[in-house]
A and B are shown apart, each in its own frame.
Chain A
């Protein structure tokens, strides 16, 4: 069982609200990731981080932002939520093995619904 946590697990909010999805891991992993997943569809990478003060945008354009002030913490923020942001958001982390076979450990996800 991976030690990576996400809160809240479920969130229903109105349009225009600012939200922050929390992600924490206790494994000391350097790399962390945020994915977006719609039902029956593949995961899409929206943000990743190599380490503290390092953040990059992923393959899928997202209006969200992230920060990495501490190794263990990688929160995702939406300044003004819209119905199009309704989705499942998965956080993951991996260690740097240097072999190209890093395994990503996933959190349980946050199911976001914007009304």
Chain B
């Protein structure tokens, strides 16, 4: 069964600290993996996208890694800010259809305290 599992479910950190969010998936075949940021009451916004051949991608203070062999990805946030408080969603796409079906994780709820 194609699944995307994220951990931890929630995380609280102090402003300025770093953190790492995890994503494990069983989706096959694999096309690409995205990390989205979803602010409360808003739609998700794409942070990074990685294909099979890419093992790291950065977007400012966000760095995503991908290990396609172990089917694991991580999102590292450096020097966290209050505005980083949001849900971070891991999304995996397969190659099984022209639509490129997306499998969504439940997200990690990150709270940054001052």
Cα–Cα distance between A108 and B42 once the two chains are bound (Å): 4
Complex contacts, B100 vs chain A, CB 8 Å: 100, 102
Across the interface, A106 reaches (CB within 8 A) one of B41, B44, B95, B107, namely B44
**Is B49 in the interface zone, CB < 8 Å from A?**
yes
In this complex, how many residues of chain A approach chain B with their Cβ under 8 Å: the count is 24
User: How big is chain B's contact interface, by range?
Assistant: 20 to 34
Are the CB atoms of A103 and B43 closer together than 8 Å?
no
Cα–Cα distance between A40 and B34 once the two chains are bound (Å): 19
Are the CB atoms of B41 and A100 closer together than 8 Å?
no
Q: How far is the CB of A59 from chain B (nearest CB, A)?
A: 8
Are the CB atoms of A90 and B102 closer together than 8 Å?
no
| 0/1 string, A34-57, CB within 8 A of B gives 1 | 000000111111001000000000
Are the CB atoms of A108 and B43 closer together than 8 Å?
yes
Q: How far is the CB of A101 from chain B (nearest CB, A)?
A: 5
The residue among A4, A41, A42, A109 with the most chain B CB atoms within 10 A of its own CB is A42
**Is B58 in the interface zone, CB < 8 Å from A?**
no
Are the CB atoms of A106 and B43 closer together than 8 Å?
yes
| 0/1 string, A71-99, CB within 8 A of B gives 1 | 00000000000000000001110000000
Q: How far is the CB of B27 from chain A (nearest CB, A)?
A: 13
**Is B104 in the interface zone, CB < 8 Å from A?**
yes
**Is A104 in the interface zone, CB < 8 Å from B?**
yes
Cα–Cα distance between A45 and B43 once the two chains are bound (Å): 14
Q: Given known contacts A107-B43, A111-B41, what 4 new A-B pairs fall within 8 Å (CB)?
A: A42-B89, A43-B104, A100-B93, A103-B49
- A selection of 7 A-B contacts at a CB cut-off of 8 Å is A40-B106, A42-B4, A44-B104, A45-B102, A92-B43, A101-B32, A107-B43
